[in-house]
Structure 1
Amino acid sequence: MKAIAGKAIVPLRERPTSGTALDDELLYGMVVEVLEEAADEEEGEAVPWVSVRTPYRYTGYCKKEDLILDQARVAAWEAGELCVVMQGFADVLDEPRVQGVCLESLARGGRLLAHREEATEEAGWVCVELADGGRGYTKEQFLGPCYSVPFTADEDAFRKRLVEMAKGYLGAQYRWGGKSTLGIDCSGLTSMCYMLCGVYIYRNAGYVDGFAVHEIPAAEKKPGDLLYFPGHIAMYIGDDRYIHSTGRNGDDGVVINSLNPAHEDFREDLLNMLERAASMF
């Protein structure tokens, strides 16, 4: 059975209780596989949870009420023209004008169904369908294609877009288990950037075989490639620099640092701990 994430951000946890740390997040409109139901470890049957598996093969528990489980609705959702929010945040309003009532406010990576066949009186707006079947409007420029395969076979263009995606999160706070513009961790950043380009990579910071990237000599790294440290991951962006989300005091989020001791943003600790690099190419 499948389900749709029905809230802007659906927390995934390692165990079925809100008393455990955040493990991952589902963003609005993402479709997951439901594995089994579970009772809350603290509240019992009064708060039902479900175990789910994401398209990138990550599993966790979320509250059942945060999902849309109607299978006809899921089928219609997957059959429609899915688009993805590219803006840091985007409101879905009840009418195509800025004075409209906000129905949902979604972070980058949230998904909607576009209904471009429905003309709007105001230029620049598009009619969108929400996960529950309701309809609203948002600015066309806030949306992009929802890729299920790499968006291009052009390596240079792919690498450039990965870096652009990562820089779009600069300044976002560090959030353990997060992967939205409200807060994001190191692997949330890299996995979201690849996902927005149509590729799934491993959600956590470790290197795991069987995903889209493979290990390469660190000296051969190029923009968009991944850098692995113990319990940490970053994206190389060129000129000896990399972008990552870090909880280190003074940074506390998505920043750019360098592997070059001559640069002001050099981090000696991470240079000394670099374990490997990986690439799609």
Structure 2
Amino acid sequence: MAETVSPLPDRRRNLYRSDLAEAGLEGVVPADRYVTGAPARICQPIVPARLTPNHAKPRDTEFLMGEPVLVFDRADNWAWVKSQRDGYVGYIDQGALIFGAPAPTHRVNTIRSHLYPAPELKRFALAALPYGALVTVIDRTEKWAKLADGQWVALAHLVPASQTAKDPVAEAMRFLGVPYLWGGRSSDGMDCSALVQFALEACGIPCPRDSDMQEAELGSAIDRADLQATDLIFWPGHVGMMMDRDRMIHANATDMAVRVWTLSDFEAHIIRIEGHEIRTIKRL
């Protein structure tokens, strides 16, 4: 009888190479050494993460300001990290990390919020934080919040980090018109699974990063005749969220943006263009 070979763990959420692996994979994958990562946070607004340390390779996801990661290796200006939010693994620029930062107190709750060197509207904005970025407020005025790094942001654009919303569809609608970007996970550009992840996590519902993970791990399969708002529609390589029985919001490469489609128009489109049909409908 032939020996059964177990498949290697998914590299998107399991950190390993021949010379190094995360400690939890000891006995699962061979490596020269096993490491417990050092905690750090992202200190830049939007940071591309790649599966290999090569700027010519496409981004596989993005990490946002304040998000916690574990750092397993640093070399040649690259850091090999694992998200403590959704478990995604990637190589990022070392300069995007800060160690020993205070815990975030607030979250950006608007599509984009500018950072200023002082609490003055006419000062030149230094950068912009995306929706979902985590910040530490150390002081405030009536309209401004001072962050731990000394920069200022509009107080009205922040909510407590622990605050959750109630309606995933309303959260998804915030991003209507945002450009489609493969691997994007910000209001500058996002892909289909990032839209779903943002909408659910804003409501306190943990959500994996990619559409195949979401299809496998979220909710329970239902019959199409029972559709309602927040149901997730899956087909190969894509996901959308129902707004009601007839309309769906999704980030898509046809419009190159987040758009609302009727489910009937969408289904006719994927059959005609991609040769696919709806594969799964999940209810949270």
Q: TM-score, normalised by structure 2?
A: 0.77
Cα 1:209–1:277 shift into 2, 3 Å: closer
Map of 1:189 onto structure 2: 195
Match of 1:57 in 2: 87
- Compute the displacement of 1:266 (Å): 4.7
Whole-angstrom distance in 1 between the partners of 2:46 and 2:124: 20
How far apart, CA to CA, are the structure 2 residues paired with 1:2 and 1:220? 44
> What residue is the counterpart of 1:32 in the other structure?
69
CA distance in 2: counterparts of 1:222 and 1:10, whole angstroms: 35
Distance across 1 between alignment mates of 2:249 and 2:216: 24
The answer to whether residue 205 in structure 2 is matched with residue 199 in structure 1 is yes
Q: Which has the higher contact order (CA 8 A, sep 6+)?
A: 1
Whole-angstrom distance in 1 between the partners of 2:159 and 2:270:
34
Structure 1 residues 145 and 214: CA distance shift in structure 2, 3 A:
farther
- Give the equivalent residue in structure 2 for 1:93: 116
Counterpart of 1:127 (choices 145, 156, 165) is 145
The whole-number CA distance in structure 2 between the counterparts of 1:233 and 1:86 is: 24
- State the partner residue of 1:113: 136
Q: 1:277 aligns with which of 257, 273, 281?
A: 281
State the Cα distance separating 1:197 from its structure 2 match: 1.9
Q: Which of 86, 96, 108 is the aligned partner of 1:66?
A: 96
Contact 1:228 1:277 in 2 (8 A): yes
Q: Is the 8 A contact 2:251 2:259 kept in 1?
A: yes
2:197 aligns to what SS in structure 1?
Answer: helix
Contact 2:73–2:80 (8 Å) recurs in 1? yes
**1:89·1:105 contact (CA, 8 Å) conserved in 2?**
yes
Matched residues, number: 243
The Cα of 1:244 is off from its aligned counterpart by: 0.4
2:225 and 2:73 map into 1 onto residues whose CA distance is: 45
RMSD of Structure 2 on Structure 1 (CA): 2.3
Find the residue that maps to 1:191 and give its secondary structure. helix
1:259, CA displacement in angstroms?
1.6
Name the amino acid aligned to 2:168. L
Alignment match of 1:102 (pick from 113, 120, 125): 125
Aligned residues of 1:35 and 1:53 also touching (Cα < 8 A): no
1:253 aligns with 257
Please give the per-residue CA displacement for 1:262-281, whole angstroms capped at 9, x wherever unaligned. Answer: xxx5541347611112222x
Counterparts of 1:157-176 in structure 2 under 5 Å? 158=166, 161-176=167-182
Unpaired segments ≥5 residues, structure 2: 1-37
Amino acid at match of 1:259: L
Q: Which blocks of at least 5 consecutive residues in structure 1 are unaligned? A: 40-44, 153-157
The one-letter amino acid paired with 1:258 is T
TM-score (normalised: structure 1): 0.78
% of aligned pairs identical? Answer: 25
Aligned residue number for residue 268 of structure 1: 268
